[in-house]
Amino acid sequence: MQEKNRRQANITFTIQKLEENKAKYFTFAIPPNELILESGKKLGPIRIAYETYGKLNQEKTNAILIAHALSGDAHAAGINQQKGIEGWWNNLIGPGKGIDTNKFFVVCSNIIGGCQGSTGPSSINLYTGKEYSTDFPIITIGDMVNAQKALINHLKISKLLSVIGGSMGGMQVLQWMIAYPESIKSAIPIATTMKHTPQQIAFNEVGRQAIISDPNWNKGHYYGSRVPAKGLALARMIGHITYMSDDSMSKKFGRHFKTKKNNGIKFEPEFEVEGYLRYRGGSFVKRFDANSYLYITKAMDNFNIVNGKDIGHIFKGLRAKILVISFESDWLYPSQQSQEIVRACKLARVKTSYCEISSSYGHDAFLLETGEEGQIIGHFLNTLN
């Protein structure tokens, strides 16, 4: 059985060439065929789903890596040809846009631990022929970045022009700055933090508890059976509240009642915000794996590049140029945490600029305020050469 699966694994060891704007897959084919995780455990073979936009120049000096957030995927830009879905940062990435694909070669890969093409808990463990489920090892932001580095090596890019990401994507950016300082010419961490506060951990923990408390979770072994939809929807609802600001919620919903009456059923949604949260929670379940939610939020909570270090030593020796961006109404990753990154960079004599963008969208602003954000990023990228 194991032998047979091993052979199947070898089949996927080829790199599938796909057309532009359609996910490509890279599988670690080089020995040792495995990624040694920060925990010391080994994971492999690993498949990484990625998309690219624009063209890599001959000198391979125009490559930008985009790192996605908790629920993101490799489909950052363009319109998915099969499903017609717009990339999650399509307003920012494209010809003539803030991250201009007429100039830059943009790569975005799904994180390991995820569920959108890259190896994660819902992937088949080739040694058992079954989904990993909770046998999937604990992964870290560092592991995600190491997998991205393998992809970048595979693409034969020795130095990225920039690595850019918001929220958990920003954590990956910070990790690149620490783990591969020589491999990046610049970096743009957006709406992120060097470590989670107890409050940030607490919100994630309640989300995890919601999933684990769902009887359908079944200790993680729900594949091929009923998924813990209610638990995952609840986790997403909690997330959504933290992604929006009180102000943006008020503008969007006010205290409006849903137009459809709830037929007198008690505790059905009455306010628009309630219906919205349930809808968003429910739709999330269709595209996201509950175990991935557990693993990824744990990776976020465990991320800590300060870790007792003197703040001036965190980025010591880094020669990349840094642009830090935060958003005024973001209370999940408040500007103060971005300013702490700026301080750490400046104390380490890293060339750093910072901008707080005025917005009422809360944490979601990094996905929505693409006008100013694009201008600021575009200007920064154009001044790199």
Residues that bind its own copies (CB under 8 A): 134, 138, 195-199, 201-203, 205-206, 208-210, 212-215, 230-231, 233-234, 237-238, 240-241, 244-246, 249-250, 252-255, 266-267, 269-274, 277-278, 281, 294, 298, 301-302, 304, 331
Alpha-helical regions (H) of the chain = 2-11, 141-154, 168-179, 198-213, 229-243, 246-253, 272-287, 290-302, 335-347, 365-368, 370-382
Q: Which is nearer to its own copies, 215 or 317 (CB)?
A: 215
In one-letter notation, the amino acid at residue 277 is L
Q: Which is nearer to its own copies, 272 or 372 (CB)?
A: 272
Q: Which is nearer to its own copies, 85 or 212 (CB)?
A: 212
**Could you tell me if 190 and 359 are in contact, meaning their C-beta atoms sit under 8 angstroms apart?**
no
In one-letter notation, the amino acid at residue 284 is F
Q: Which is nearer to its own copies, 266 or 286 (CB)?
A: 266
What is the C-alpha to C-alpha distance for residues 310 and 33, in angstroms, rounded to an integer?
A: 37
Question: At CA 332, angle to CA 330 and CA 334, rounded to 5?
Answer: 55
Q: Which is nearer to its own copies, 86 or 310 (CB)?
A: 310
Determine the 3-state secondary structure of 304 from DSSP: strand
Asked if 162 is an active-site residue, the reply is: no
Catalytic residue among 292, 330, 335, 360: 330
Asked if 167 is an active-site residue, the reply is: yes
Residues of 52-72 as b/e, b for ≥16 C-beta within 10 angstroms? Answer: bbbebeeeebbbbbbbbbbbb
Nearest distance, CB of residue 105 and its own copies, angstroms? 38
Q: Which is nearer to its own copies, 135 or 182 (CB)?
A: 135
Determine the 3-state secondary structure of 8 from DSSP: helix
Pairing of strands 162-166, 105-109: unpaired
Asked if 196 is an active-site residue, the reply is: no
- Residue 86 phi/psi, 5-degree rounding, is -80, 140
- The distance of Cα 95 from the centroid of its chain, to the nearest Å, equals 23
Nearest distance, CB of residue 143 and its own copies, angstroms? 15
What is the C-alpha to C-alpha distance for residues 209 and 196, in angstroms, rounded to an integer?
A: 18
User: 256 vs 191, 259, 279, CA distance in Å?
Assistant: 30, 9, 16
What is the C-alpha to C-alpha distance for residues 316 and 328, in angstroms, rounded to an integer?
A: 28
- In DSSP notation, 17-67 reads P--TTS-EEEE--STT-SEE-TTS-EE-S-EEEEEEES---TT---EEEEE
Q: Which is nearer to its own copies, 31 or 264 (CB)?
A: 264
Catalytic residue among 123, 196, 363, 364: 363
Nearest distance, CB of residue 355 and its own copies, angstroms? 23
Whether residue 198 has a cis bond before it, omega within 30° of 0: no
Catalytic residue among 167, 186, 248, 359: 167
Q: Which is nearer to its own copies, 105 or 333 (CB)?
A: 333
Rg of the chain in Å (alpha carbons): 21
Nearest distance, CB of residue 299 and its own copies, angstroms? 12
What is the C-alpha to C-alpha distance for residues 231 and 309, in angstroms, rounded to an integer?
A: 37
Which residues are designated catalytic? 167, 330, 363
